């Protein structure tokens, strides 16, 4: 069993670390919030006094909010890359910009440290259940070394290419998800205006060419998919502000690479409005009541 240092024990990181503990690994946790570390310790983990203690482990996993936190933890004063032992395996599962992921990976490679970027899909429930999907960028040997640990926390682990390609897959997938959720919500809003019953439209669209995950697994109107956040007053799930963060990463990536993503840019504008209207903490499928009401209807 391995000695694993885990940095970032928030909504996602804590349940991921708990699954590593349950699998018998020795997990040493670090977070700016004492409360989060205490929960790990309560479940049998160990508290790291600082990043120095994390640097003494064999494997480091980070699950941090954004690129600047990842840069600070790996490259800052007392940063992990300068201080870990040779051959320590580094796994960053945060959703961050591709450029930062590649910069950190290049610094790790200079020291001969195996590193992967391994962002996730599946949300807090997937983290708790150990059913996350990992999109992994990095060299083959680093992927092979990371996979057994990712398998403990996830149900699917996909090697998407070299350094930064895990983040690239994550950002592109979530841009597509935002666009499809807006499309499904617009279709339901128009269908209602035309006098169609929600369930009847679902029965047609979910088995026709409009079918997609946003329709059949995460339907933004209450009723047709009982497990979707629409049935729980749009409690997340995946919050609007988290989606907005990913859409901004997609916009920046599109600008940097001169990719033509007009729908992605529009999705970012629409989700910015949604957040400014007070839906930032609601599930991102709350775009439906927002669009329906701003089209002149009521939210029912
Ligand atoms: P969170 O804010 O709940 O947790 C982040 C944790 O990192 C916090 O506990 C914070 O105290 C800690 N932290 C910040 N800077 C630190 C530092 N320098 N040293 C130590 N700890 C530090 O966020 P989350 O929801 O767990 O998300 C983490 C990452 O996973 C993000 O990049 C997010 O985009 C991604 N993600 C989240 C979800 C989701 O549904 N929540 C789904 C997929 C991906």
Span from the CA of 41 to the centroid of ligand 1 (angstroms): 18
Contact 218, 205 (CB under 8 A): no
Taking CA atoms only, the protein residue closest to ligand 1 atom 8 is 10
Say if strands 132-137 and 120-121 run parallel, antiparallel, or are unpaired. Answer: antiparallel
Quote the Cα angle for 101-157-91, to 5°.
Answer: 35
Distance 190 CA to ligand 1 centre (A): 37
**Pocket lining for ligand 1, CB < 6 angstroms:** 7-13, 30-33, 36, 63-65, 69, 72-73, 94-95, 120, 123-124, 238, 242, 245
Phi and psi of 234, rounded to 5°?
Answer: 60, 35
Residuewise pLDDT in 10s, the chain (300 residues): 999 999 999 999 999 999 999 999 999 999 999 999 999 999 999 999 999 999 999 999 999 999 999 999 999 988 999 999 999 999 999 999 999 999 999 999 999 999 999 999 988 889 999 999 999 999 999 999 999 999 999 999 999 999 999 999 999 999 999 999 999 999 999 999 999 999 999 999 999 999 999 999 999 999 999 999 999 999 988 899 999 999 999 999 999 999 999 999 999 999 999 999 999 999 999 999 999 998 655 544
Query: What tokens does 244 get?
Result: 């907005």
> Which residue CA neighbors atom 39 of ligand 1 most closely?
123
Please report which helix (H) or strand (E) contains residue 125, including its range.
helix 123-129
Q: Find the 144 Cα to ligand 1 centroid distance in Å.
A: 25
Cα 63 versus chain centre, distance: 10
What global pTM score does this model have?
A: 0.94
Residue 35 annotated as catalytic: no
């Amino acid at each position: 069993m391995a000695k694993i240092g885990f940095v970032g024990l928030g909504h996602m990181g804590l349940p991921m670390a708990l699954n590593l503990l349950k699998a018998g690994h020795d997990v040493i946790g670090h977070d700016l919030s004492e409360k989060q570390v205490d929960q790990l310790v309560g479940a049998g983990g160990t508290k790291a006094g600082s990043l120095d203690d994390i640097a003494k482990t064999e494997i480091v996993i980070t699950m941090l909010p954004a690129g600047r936190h990842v840069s600070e933890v790996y490259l800052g004063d007392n940063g992990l890359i300068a201080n870990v032992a040779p051959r320590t395996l580094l796994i960053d599962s945060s959703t961050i910009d591709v450029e930062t992921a590649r910069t950190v990976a290049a610094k790790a490679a200079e020291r001969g440290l195996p590193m992967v970027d391994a962002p996730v899909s599946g949300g807090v429930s997937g983290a708790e259940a150990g059913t996350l999907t990992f999109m992994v960028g990095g060299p083959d040997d680093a992927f092979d070394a990371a996979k057994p640990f990712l398998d403990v926390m996830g149900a699917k682990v996909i090697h998407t290419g070299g350094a930064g390609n895990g983040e690239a897959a994550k950002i592109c997938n979530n841009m597509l998800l935002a666009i499809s959720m807006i499309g499904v919500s617009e279709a339901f809003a128009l269908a209602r205006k035309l006098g169609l019953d929600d369930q009847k439209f679902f029965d047609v669209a979910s088995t026709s060419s409009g079918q997609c995950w946003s329709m059949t697994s995460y339907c933004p109107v209450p009723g047709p998919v009982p497990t979707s956040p629409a049935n729980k007053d749009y409690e997340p799930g995946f919050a609007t502000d988290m989606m907005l963060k990913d859409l901004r990463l997609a916009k920046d990536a599109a600008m940097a690479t001169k990719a033509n993503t007009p729908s992605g840019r529009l999705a970012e504008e629409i989700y910015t409005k949604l957040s400014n209207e007070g839906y930032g903490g609601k599930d991102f499928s709350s775009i439906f009541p927002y669009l329906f009401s701003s089209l002149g209807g009521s939210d029912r």
